[in-house]
Amino acid sequence: MNGAPARCWRLRRGVRLGHDPVRRTPVLLHPEGVLLLNETAAAILRVCQDTAGAAEIEDVLAERYDTVDTEEVEAFLAALAARHLLEPVTSAQTSAPGGAGPESGRHCGG
């Protein structure tokens, strides 16, 4: 995104996606509380339940929407990282077993 190398993301330990049946909306559950999500945010975070790179996130959004604003997606991911809900994943972590290295078919790193 923005010509920068793609960074991979994943949900931090203790953070998970859920659904609020009363509000009928997706939520992000974390130790400090609950974050209500819109459908676009939920689509992005579903990809991040495992390790996701920028290209994979954009691919998922492109399947659903006519246009993808990569700067907006990047800002959303950065905001969640600032709140300690997402964490960046290093290239060493993505090439480890169970990571999102080339053998897994994931798009992490490019």
- Predicted pLDDT at 92: 52
75-97 mean pLDDT: 77
Domains of the chain, first to last: 8-88 (3.90.930.60)
Mean pLDDT (the chain) is 80
Strand (E) or helix (H) holding 37: none
Top mean-pLDDT range of 35-39, 52-56, 73-77: 35-39
Please state, in angstroms and rounded to a whole number, the distance separating the CA atoms of residues 35 and 92: 30
- Where on the phi/psi map is residue 62: left (φ > 0), alpha (ψ -120 to 50), or beta? alpha
pLDDT category of residue 40 using cuts at 50, 70 and 90: very high
Q: How many whole angstroms from its chain centre is CA 62? A: 15
- Predicted pLDDT at 97: 42
